[in-house]
Amino acid sequence: MPKLINRQGQVLSPDGGLTWLTLTQWQAQGAAMVGQRLGLEFQPDEHPESVVTDLAQFAALAARFPKFTDGRGMTIAQRLRVRYGWRGPLWAVGDILQDQLFALARVGFDHFALRDDQKVELAKAAFADHQVRYQGAWDEAQPLWRREDRLGLAP
Amino acid sequence: MYQYDEYDQRIVDDRVTLYRDQTRRFLAGELSEEEFRPLRLQNGLYIQRHAPMLRIAIPYGTLSSAQLRALGDIAQRWDEGWGHFSTRQNLQLNAPRLEDTPDILAALAQVQMHAIQTSGNCVRNVTSDHFAGIAPDEILDPRPWCEILRQWSTFHPEFSALPRKFKIAVTASEADRAAVQVHDIGLRALRGPSGEIGFEVWAGGGLGRTPVIGTRIRSWLPAPDLLLYVEAILRVYNADGRRDNPYKARIKILLREMGADAFTQAVEQEFSRLEGGPGQLTEAEMQRVVRQFAPPPYAHADEHSLVADAQAIADAVQSQPGFERWLARNVHEHRQAGYAAVTVSLKRAGKPPGDATSDEMRLVADLAQAHGFGEIRVTHHQNLVLPDVRRASLPALYAALRAAGLATPNIGLLTDMIACPGGDYCALANARSIPVAEAIRARFEDLDDLFDIGELELNISGCINSCGHHHIAQIGILGVDKNGEEWYQITLGGTQGPEAAIGKVIGPSFSAGEVPDAVETVVRTYVAQRTSCEERFNETLARIGQAPFREALYAETH
């Protein structure tokens, strides 16, 4: 059973008290489930475009990482957050590594399903892996050069 | 050249700390080999045939003397006293110990260097023209744009696990010495009617198993939109690039499968959502970076000094043996009167192409200070360039390089071969490249002969990954495996530059022992058939076709 943590490193209930559906399940039987507290999980090859108008039906969204080398979930998060303005919880589930938590949080994930052997304390620290972020992302839309006066530092 | 500010420095310093901890966890068994793999790769560390290989980033091929000296020292302290300059303008160390790599990265950080994203499935080192900033034919200096891209792509969170590696090249001259059409993204800087800067954008080019010349997907992209457009391309690629087969995962396959029009439309649509957003470059940011590449304080040349320069050179032609040939091949025009650029040839007897010892790196670093402003370039042809040499110093520089064995007058000639490290080092290779390169070099050792043959490009790759760029050489040699034996396939007619083209296979492959004869046959056929010394290899080939080459090759040897 994976452990669910948030960005503060708190351990939460593993399913968040939600009924989780895949996109296929939602499209097939979603109508019957409206009214329940639902979560929708995207597979890496699915584009959120197809359910944009349904997003308000969900209490949380998730993107699955079948393998830590598969970064499609990163773009799914970017699209959900930036393009479609999803402001609710966004879970990273599947095969994710401690060393990816910083990047996952940057693109908009705020809940992370860790493997049992992954240590919560280390994971919590990983959210502060880098002090400097060059480019804008969900966590900070402004690139470094818009945030800081780099001109004054130039040699 | 670009100097780190405190943010740039903190990025590389933090990286060292992180990587040190990752390596510690791996060695302690807390990270599996599989989990450590992408982490070490994104820090440039491969596990090779005999030992790890560490690839150090040399952004757009520009180095300071202090940096090159540090590379020499690092190679001596933690490796075997030499390094290999690669076709992507990086430096590879072939025998560091895994345990030492955190210390190596720390030493690099002290001279504003790193190995971030020099391998792995991410945006790699941005490459450029080795004559950037000094070439007479250049429209503007492409390096500020490379640096802007370097910072943007460094630890980009969304693009940290792409389907495959991703290479961007930038040029700003018609001649395109950066081969932008064979990169995942190729950018050619242009100026608009009022002098404003923009880019022509190419996508989906690449060598490797499926060589493809890229597609021009935009003829004008205003400079402030540079990062937004590149972001749009990468987003389309990250979402939809194939991940089922690593051989089909590069963006060139996505572009081909979607079709150029649909791909371009998807990129444009993504870009339209980003336009005007915070990623649009501000005038202040562009100026901040451009200013750091301002020309060095050149000495003003007048009529008298130019006459004196010419006299000093004429005297050296008389008094220094070999100087005239070196001047003809290794000295290049400079946009500043009174100056020249000099190529330090790393293609010499008994040394693999692109290799340099620690002593040689330190010597070149010193020479760049004595005869320039302490700057060195790495070329994708695997040579070094001293970019700002006073013409009056050419004789002294030649003497110093010649004494060190670094003045082989062969730039642009047949023995200025590109070759990957091949099966002697690389775990991917099917065949060795270095001994074949050496055998060909020995065959064409006679300088009179080499100069008579004239300009000719010959590139060698030890396997279909094509690190040796054999596809775009006039004569390409590819190592192939046939039933456990090393064979070499020859292609003719590849072209680099603005008219880039992929060479065509001439016929059945050759054994290692047969390659020098085969190359000689091709070269002699060309020389016999050309209408004049001015007719280049590909012009002759286009005029007479492959048949005369094939007949000469296979009538004799098979």
Does position B360 have pLDDT exceeding 60, yes or no? Answer: yes
More confident residue, B210 or B457: B457
Dihedrals phi, psi of A71, to nearest 5 degrees: -95, 15
Res. B558: pLDDT tops 60? no
Residue B133: both structure tokens together: 């900033």
Q: What is the pLDDT of residues B241-251, one digit of tens each?
A: 999 999 999 99
Q: Which of B123, B28, B32, B110 is nearest to B74 (CA)?
A: B110
How many Cβ atoms sit within 10 Å of the Cβ of residue B484? Answer: 6
**C-alpha to C-alpha distance for B153 and B160, rounded to whole angstroms:** 9
pLDDT at A49 over 90: yes
- Average pLDDT along chain B: 95
Chain B: closest CA distance from residue A14 (Å): 24
Paired residues of B487 in beta bridges: B480, B511
Question: Which of 3.30.70, 3.30.450, 1.10.287, 1.20.1300 would CATH assign to domain B6-110?
Answer: 3.30.70
Angstrom distances, CA of residue B51 to CA of B93, B97, B393: 10, 7, 42
Choose the mutation target among A98, A99, A122, A146 for the interface with B, i.e. most B CBs under 10 Å: A99
What percent of chain B shows pLDDT beyond 70? 99
Q: Which chain A residue shows the shortest CA-CA distance from B151?
A: A134
pTM for the model: 0.96
Query: Residue A127 sits in which domain range?
Result: 3-153
Note whether B155 contacts A: Cβ–Cβ < 8 A.
yes
> DSSP assignment, residue B457?
-
Report yes or no: B209 at the A interface, CB cutoff 8 Å. Answer: no
CA B175 to chain centre: 15
Report chain A residues touching chain B, CB-CB < 8 A.
44, 47, 68-72, 74-78, 83, 97, 99-100, 102-104, 106-107, 129-137, 141-146, 148, 150-151, 153-155
pLDDT tens profile B439-452 = 999 999 999 999 99
Distance in Å, alpha carbon of A20 to nearest chain B alpha carbon: 23
Tokens 């895994």, residue located: B98
| Residue (of A45, A44, A39) closest to A25 by Cα position | A39
- Boundaries of every domain in chain B: 6-110, 134-291, 303-403, 418-557
> B6-110 and B134-291: same fold?
no
| pLDDT average, residue stretch A91-102 | 96
Query: Given A76, A77, A154, which is nearest B5 (Cβ)?
Result: A154
Mean pLDDT of B61-80: 98
Phi, psi of B28 (to 5 degrees): -85, 0
Residue found by looking up tokens 């371009």 in the block: B264
The confidence band for A140, taking pLDDT boundaries of 50, 70 and 90, is very high
Q: What's B303-403's CATH class?
A: alpha beta
pLDDT at residue B279, as a whole number: 97
Which of B158, B228, B238 should be substituted to probe chain A, the one whose Cβ sees the most A Cβ atoms within 10 Å? B158
CATH superfamily of B134-291: Sulfite Reductase Hemoprotein, domain 1 (3.30.413.10)
Question: CA-to-CA distance for A18 and A89, rounded, in angstroms?
Answer: 12
What separation in angstroms does the CA of B150 have from each of B129, B144, B227, B294, B295?
15, 10, 10, 18, 21
Q: For B152, which of A77, A99, A134 is closest by C-beta distance?
A: A134
What is the DSSP secondary-structure string of B165-196?
A: -B-EEEE-BTT-TT-GGGSSEEEEEEE-TTS-
Average pLDDT value for residue range B44-49: 80
At B160, which amino acid appears?
Answer: S
Helix (H) or strand (E) holding A124: helix A120-126
pLDDT tens-digit series, residues B412-441: 999 999 999 998 888 888 899 999 999 999
Return the structure tokens found at B419. 């070759």
| Sign of the dihedral defined by the CA atoms of residues A76, A81, A82, A83, in that order | positive
- How is the beta sheet containing A3-6 ordered, strand by strand? A11-12, A3-6, A111-114, A90-94, A60-65, A38-42, A19-22
Check whether B557 has a pLDDT greater than 60. Answer: no
* CA–CA–CA angle B291, A154, B224 (5° rounding): 50
- Cβ-defined contact of A134 to B292 (cutoff 8 Å): no
| B465 CB burial (10 A radius; 0-12, 13-18, 19+) | middle
From the candidates A47, A74, A76, A96, which should be mutated to test the interface with B, based on the most B CB atoms within 10 A? A74
**pLDDT over 60 at B481, yes or no:** yes
Rg (CA), chain A: 17
pLDDT at residue B556, as a whole number = 54
User: How far does A63 lie from chain B, in Å, by closest CA?
Assistant: 13
Looking at residue A149, its pLDDT comes to 83
Fold of B418-557: Sulfite Reductase Hemoprotein; domain 1 (3.30.413)
The pLDDT, as a whole number, for residue B426 is: 87
In this structure, chain A runs to a length of: 155
> Positive or negative, the Cα torsion across B92, B93, B95, B96?
negative
With an 8 Å Cβ cutoff, is B481 touching chain A?
no
CATH number assigned to the domain comprising residue A43: 3.20.20.70
For the segment B492-513, the average pLDDT, to the nearest whole number, is 94
Long-range contacts of B39-43 (CB under 8 A, 24+ apart): B39/A99, B40/B101, B41/B119, B41/B120, B42/B116, B42/B117, B42/B119, B42/B120, B42/B122, B42/B160, B43/B15, B43/B19, B43/B101, B43/B105, B43/B115, B43/B116, B43/B118
Show residues of chain B in contact with A129, CB under 8 Å. Answer: 14, 18
Selecting from B161, B282, B285 the residue whose C-beta is nearest the C-beta of A69 gives B161
Comparing CB atoms, the residue among B5, B22, B227 nearest residue A150 is B5
Pairing of the two strands B504-505 and B485-492: antiparallel
Find chain B residues with C-beta within 8 A of A148's C-beta. 7
SS3 (DSSP) at A134: coil
Tell me how close the Cα of A62 comes to any Cα of chain B, in angstroms.
16
pLDDT of residue B41: 87
Phi-psi region of B35 (alpha: psi -120 to 50; beta: other; left: phi over 0): alpha
Task: Give residue-wise pLDDT tens across range B366-384.
Answer: 999 999 999 999 999 999 9
Tokens 């000719």 correspond to what residue? B456
CB contact under 8 A, A78 and B158: yes
Do residues B218 and B201 lie in contact, with contact meaning Cβ atoms separated by under 8 Å?
yes
3-state helix vs strand vs coil in chain A, percent to 5? 35, 20, 45
Task: Please indicate whether, in this complex, the C-beta atoms of B282 and A141 are within 8 angstroms of each other.
Answer: no
Q: What is the pLDDT of residue B56?
A: 97
Instruction: Find out whether B84 and B117 touch, Cβ atoms under 8 Å.
Output: no
Mean local confidence (pLDDT), A146-153: 82
The pLDDT of residue A155: 58
Q: How far is B10 from chain A (nearest CA, A)?
A: 7
Question: Which residue in the block uniquely carries the two structure tokens 């773009």?
Answer: A75
CA distance, residue A31 to nearest chain B CA (Å): 28
What residues contact A111, with CB distance under 8 A and at least 6 apart?
A4, A5, A6, A12, A16, A60, A62, A89, A90, A91, A92
Determine, for residues A131 and B10 on separate chains, whether the beta-carbon distance falls below 8 Å. Answer: yes
Determine, for residues B7 and A150 on separate chains, whether the beta-carbon distance falls below 8 Å: yes
Please report, for residues A77, B7, B37, B398, the alpha-carbon distance to residue A70 in angstroms, rounded to integers and kept in the order given: 13, 29, 14, 52
Q: Taking 70 as the threshold, does the pLDDT of residue B49 lie above it?
A: no
pLDDT of residue B131: 97
In single-letter form, the type of residue at position A35 comes to G
Question: Is there a contact between B157 and A74 if contact means CB atoms under 8 Å apart?
Answer: yes
Name the pLDDT band for B51 (thresholds 50, 70, 90).
confident
Provide the number of structural domains found in chain A: 1
**Of the candidates B252, B164, B238, which has an alpha carbon nearest to the alpha carbon of residue A79?**
B238
Percent of residues, chain B, with pLDDT higher than 90: 91
Interface of B with A in 125-154 (CB under 8 A): 151-152, 154
Which residue from A36, A98, A29, A109 is spatially nearest to A68, judged by alpha carbons?
A98
Q: Mind listing the pLDDT tens digit for each residue in A22-43?
A: 999 999 998 888 889 999 999 9
Q: Is B427 helix (H, G, I), strand (E, B) or coil?
A: coil
- For B107-141, the pLDDT digits (tens) are 999 999 999 999 999 999 999 999 999 999 999 99
Quick one: pLDDT at residue B50?
67
Residue B3 C-alpha, separation from nearest chain A C-alpha, in angstroms? 7
- Cross-chain residue pair A153–B158, CB shorter than 8 Å: no
